Structure 1
Amino acid sequence: MQIFISWSGDMAKQCAEALRDWLPYMNQAITPFVSSQDISKGERGLSKIASQLQECSLGIVCVTRDNQSAPWINFESGALSRELGESSLIPFLVDMPIKDLSGPITQFQATDSSNKGDVWSMIKSINDKCEVTVEPDRLRTTFERFWGDLETNLVTIREKSPESTTPERETSEILNELVGLVREQSTRIGALETIVTSIRNISSHYAINEPREVRITNETGNTRRTSRVANMVREMIGTKNITRMKKTDYGLEIYCTEQGVSNAQGVHSDLERLAADQSISISIYSESGGYIHSHPPF
């Protein structure tokens, strides 16, 4: 799995490079990309970064007190979240607790790099997203073996870097931000509920339950006709010979067992008349999805 590690500023760059060297120990399927090391001389930096953003499956953003509002950090974070989704972007806090995180990046689940438990949770999450995962006990053993190496590197990076001029956030500021986030989530939930309600009210909703059962809900007009045709097709071919029925924009798709296909061919003319009389296309498929024949609605 490819991981894009974003940074801005010298401290974040050193952290990104430390993660780049350390993460593959957790799972050899991990391939990190850090722009400071993975862009060769003469290669166009922005085009390379854009390409990697599209190819990566997960993003880690190295955040410091001084860079959390940097345009580049927020650009890459926004690009990653659009490409991967919010659950696949992890802010990795280098020299600050989670409570001091501010700006657009607060919408993502952050990891405190000084907290061993937080970093372990991040590693488990990354391992779960890999195509080839490491067994949990083995992963824990590997983490315990190499955690000290990363921790030492991070402590050295913090100590060597100049003290940040960005003050800790006031409690009132944090509370105001939390209120804003709660209100935003409330608005999103309300909008989602409205969409769900509108979907439920669509009169043409069509649901297929058990393999050999077709159910039409809120039946009116075309839906009643489709239900009637579905029942007639079951009588012609045999309910036990139909594994699935699917409604399409133009009619019905009938998936049949081998015996069902044979029966459908035997009543070919009847199905043809039914499709024409009811103005509904009837298409016959084998159980595996192979196309057999269609009866147009005319």
Structure 2
Amino acid sequence: MKIFISWSGKLSNEFSTILGDWLNCILPNIPTFISSSSLSPGDRWSDKLAKELEQCNAGIICLTNENLMSPWINFEAGALSKHINNSMVIPLLINIKDSEISKSPLSQFQTLTIDKSGLKKLLIKLFDSLDLPNNKIDIIFDKWWDDLEVKLNSLNFPDKRKSDNEKYENLLLNYNDVNEGLKIRVNQIEKILSNLTEQNNESIDSNLSDHHQLNILSGLWESPITKSSYYGFFIDDKFHMPYLYEDNENFLAHFYNIKITKKRIYGEFKWLNSHYIDGYFFLDIISNDILKGGWVYSNDTIVLKNSPNREKTELILNKVNTVEVPSWITSYKKQLKQI
């Protein structure tokens, strides 16, 4: 039995340490695994993570407004949901409101706050998941709460600025009723993607494997924002564009269903080692060496369809002048056969 704690960012890290110490006092016989910090030098990240997940009964996501879109957080949440019941994947809202995660894949999980009421509910859920008697939870919680409260008050909460989520909050609420339960699936992809190109008033070449059209994406590209590498190439007349997020081979993903007009390239993305992280991207062709656009997670449906400016997470790709094929393409080809 074990409790998995996921974090990303300074505030989330500080909170995860405080929470882990607190849980170790209350549940001394139940170890906690704090992601990243619990990994020893030389550990194979994916192997260690898989081993820990097999032993976990509950997963706690330390969520802040700075890590809401963190691939690391979303990847670990997705991995947790595959190994344990969704009710025991618990995002804790540290300096963020529940309404602000409505665009995130994490919105499918039931959140808790880090006040006295929320953390008591967390303890009850943990006791239940670990099959521990809960008849003395009130006494146990009250005994350890004061110490935890002092440490929580010592956290350095940054001044909260208006986030992109807040900009769209009214828009999301306005469309919530009509869009409740809406899920993007394969049969909706064409409609959504075609909406993106209507504004360009450009026709799409129906032959998506046309070398002439897609050749602009061939070769190596780099993102100055995320320090990620992208590589476009053909396999048996089918175009592929895999990429390494933050140049980490554990975060291998690819663009697919790519369509192109004279001014815009767009399609879908998916992480190959997680069925949980996917969405849509678009890239405006600035020149043969520069592409600029953005991306959204797949459940950003309301923003995608109704925001005229379509402000998304920024994406910039710069062409790299080289003919060398990246070494990680071999790994991509192997994983591609398993899709």
Q: TM-score, normalised by structure 2?
A: 0.48
| CA distance 1:32–1:174, shift in 2 (3 Å) | farther
Output the amino acid matched with 1:134. P
Distance (Å, rounded) in 1 between the aligned partners of 2:88 and 2:67: 21
Distance (Å, rounded) in 1 between the aligned partners of 2:38 and 2:160: 28
Distance (Å, rounded) in 2 between the aligned partners of 1:174 and 1:30: 41
Partner of 2:3: helix, strand, or coil? Answer: strand
* Count of residues paired in the alignment: 179
Aligned residue among 152, 155, 163 for 2:159:
163
Alignment of 1:198-209 (within 5 A): none
Aligned residue among 142, 145, 148 for 1:144:
142
Q: What is the Cα deviation at residue 161 of structure 1?
A: 4.2
Partner of 1:69: helix, strand, or coil? Answer: coil
Distance (Å, rounded) in 2 between the aligned partners of 1:79 and 1:125: 20
Alignment partner, residue 22 of structure 1: 22
- 8 Å CA contact 2:4–2:32 kept in 1: the answer is yes
Partner of 1:37: helix, strand, or coil? Answer: coil
Partner of 2:37: helix, strand, or coil? Answer: helix
Output the amino acid matched with 2:149. E
- 8 Å CA contact 1:27–1:134 kept in 2: the answer is no
- Shifted more, 96-105 versus 68-77: the winner is 96-105
Q: What is the Cα deviation at residue 175 of structure 1?
A: 5.0
Once the two structures are superposed, residues 66-90 of structure 1 have per-residue CA deviations (whole angstroms, 9 ceiling, x without a partner) of: 1111111111111111111311200
Alignment of 1:257-296 (within 5 A): none
Structure 1 gaps of 5+ residues are: 185-298
Q: How large is the Cα RMSD of the aligned pairs? A: 2.2
Distance (Å, rounded) in 2 between the aligned partners of 1:125 and 1:10: 26
Q: TM-score, normalised by structure 1?
A: 0.55
Output the amino acid matched with 2:71. P
Once the two structures are superposed, residues 45-69 of structure 1 have per-residue CA deviations (whole angstroms, 9 ceiling, x without a partner) of: 3432232122211111000011111
Quick check: 1:42 aligned with 2:42?
yes
Structure with larger Rg: 1
Output the amino acid matched with 2:105. P
- 8 Å CA contact 1:99–1:174 kept in 2: the answer is no
Q: What is the Cα deviation at residue 154 of structure 1?
A: 2.2
Quick check: 1:112 aligned with 2:113?
yes
Point out the structure with the larger helix share: 1
Distance (Å, rounded) in 1 between the aligned partners of 2:29 and 2:176: 38
Partner of 1:66: helix, strand, or coil? Answer: coil
| CA distance 1:174–1:31, shift in 2 (3 Å) | farther
Once the two structures are superposed, residues 156-193 of structure 1 have per-residue CA deviations (whole angstroms, 9 ceiling, x without a partner) of: 22xx2433445262233245356534445xxxxxxxxx
Partner of 1:41: helix, strand, or coil? Answer: coil
Percentage identity across paired residues of the two chains: 32
Alignment partner, residue 204 of structure 2: none
Structure 2 gaps of 5+ residues are: 184-339
Partner of 2:4: helix, strand, or coil? Answer: strand
Alignment partner, residue 4 of structure 1: 4
Once the two structures are superposed, residues 80-117 of structure 1 have per-residue CA deviations (whole angstroms, 9 ceiling, x without a partner) of: 11111311200011112222223110110001113x11
Point out the structure with the larger strand share: 2
Distance (Å, rounded) in 2 between the aligned partners of 1:39 and 1:126: 23
Alignment partner, residue 263 of structure 1: none
Distance (Å, rounded) in 2 between the aligned partners of 1:82 and 1:175: 33
| CA distance 1:41–1:25, shift in 2 (3 Å) | same
Alignment partner, residue 129 of structure 2: 129
